[in-house]
Amino acid sequence: MDTVFIRALGVESIIGVHAWERRLKQRLTIDLDLAWNTAAAAADDDLSEALDYAAVAARVQSLAAAESCHLLETLAERMADTLREEFGVAWLRLRVSKPGAVAGAAAVGVVIERGQPG
Ligand SMILES: Nc1nc2c(c(=O)[nH]1)N=C([C@H](O)[C@@H](O)CO)CN2
C-alpha cells in the first residue's frame, strides 16, 4: 500500500474539557498517513492525479480552527470523516498530539485508524 504522509503539522483549535481551555485556541500537532495509489500520478508526473498533501494540510488546519471539541477523540474523528469524504481516502491513520497537556509528558493524544487499507 502506498501512502502520502504529513508529519508534525501545527494546528490551532479550541480543545479541552476545562473552562480555561474553552477560552483560547491551543496548538496541537497532527501526523497523518493516508492510503493513496501513487502510481498514476508518478506515471503522468501530474499533481491532479496525486493526493495533494498541501491541500490536505490546509483542510486539516481550517477544520481545526473551526471546531471547538472537548475531546481529542472527537476532533480526530471529525478530521478522519472529512478527509475520507472530501479527498476520497480509503484508509488513514491520524495522530493528534497535545503538547504540554500533562506535566512530565512531552505530549499526549490519540491515534485512530479508519477505513480499509487498499
Ligand atoms: N482521552 C482523553 N483524555 C483527556 C482529554 C482528551 O481529550 N482525551 N482531555 C483532557 C483535558 O482537556 C487535558 O488536555 C487537560 O487536563 C484530559 N484527558
In tens, the pLDDT along 44-101 reads 999 999 999 999 999 999 999 999 999 999 999 999 999 999 999 999 999 999 999 9
* pLDDT over 90, % of the chain: 98
Q: How confident is the model at residue 118 (pLDDT cuts 50, 70, 90)?
A: confident
Domains and CATH numbers, the chain: 3-102 (3.30.1130.10)
The grid cell for 74 is 472527537
Which segments of the chain are extended strands (E)? Answer: 3-15, 26-35, 68-69, 91-99, 107-115
User: What pLDDT does residue 14 have?
Assistant: 98
H or E element that contains 52: none
Residues marked as catalytic:
98
Binding-site residues, ligand 1, Cβ < 6 A: 16-18, 21, 71-73, 98, 101
